[in-house]
Amino acid sequence: MKIADLGEKKIIESIAPFTGINRYVEVGFGDDGAVLRIDKKNPRCVVTTDILVEGTHFLFDRIGFKNLGYKSYEVNASDIAAMGAWPVAAFLSLGLKSGMEYRSLKDFYKGFSLAAKRHGCLILGGDTVRADRLFISITLVGVYEKGSTPLRRSAAKSGDRIYITGWPGESGMGFILLKDRKPGVSTLAKHPLIARHIRPTSRVNVGTALARSPHTGAVIDVSDGVYNELNLLSQSSGKKMKVYLHKLPISQRLHKEATARHLDSLQMALFGGEDYELLFTSSLRLPRVKKLFDRKGARCPLHEIGIVEQGGGVVFLNDMGERVTVIDKTFEHFPDERP
The CATH number for 211's domain is 3.90.650.10
11 in the same domain as 98: yes
Q: What percent of the chain has pLDDT over 90?
A: 55
What is the pLDDT, as a whole number, of residue 30?
57
Is residue 339 in some structural domain? no
Looking at the structure of the chain, the number of domains it has is 2
Model confidence pLDDT, tens digit, residues 256-266: 999 999 999 99
Residue 275 has pLDDT above 90, yes or no: yes
Please state, in angstroms and rounded to a whole number, the distance separating the CA atoms of residues 27 and 145.
17
Which of 143, 169, 204 represents a domain boundary (last residue)? 143
Give the C-alpha distances (Å, rounded to integers) separating 247 from 38, 100, 281, 283, 299. 43, 46, 15, 18, 20
Lowest mean pLDDT among 146-155, 173-182, 296-305, 306-315: 173-182
Residue 229 has pLDDT above 60, yes or no: yes
Average model confidence (pLDDT) for the chain? Answer: 85
pTM for this prediction: 0.85
Is residue 263 in some structural domain? yes
Is residue 150 in some structural domain? no
The CATH number of the domain holding residue 107 is 3.30.1330.10
Residue 40 has pLDDT above 90, yes or no: no
Lowest mean pLDDT among 7-16, 124-133, 164-173: 7-16
Beta strands in the chain (DSSP E): 25-27, 34-36, 45-53, 86-96, 122-130, 135-143, 161-165, 216-222, 240-244, 277-282, 302-309, 314-317, 323-324
DSSP string, 16-68: GGG----TTEEE-TTSSSEEE-SSTTSPPEEEEEEEEEBTTTB-HHHH-HHHH
22 in the same domain as 132: yes
Is residue 336 in some structural domain? no
Which of 110, 143, 176 represents a domain boundary (last residue)? 143
Helix (H, G, I), strand (E, B) or coil at 154: coil
Q: What percent of the chain has pLDDT over 70?
A: 80
Residue 214 has pLDDT above 90, yes or no: yes
Residue numbers of the domain that contains 188: 161-324
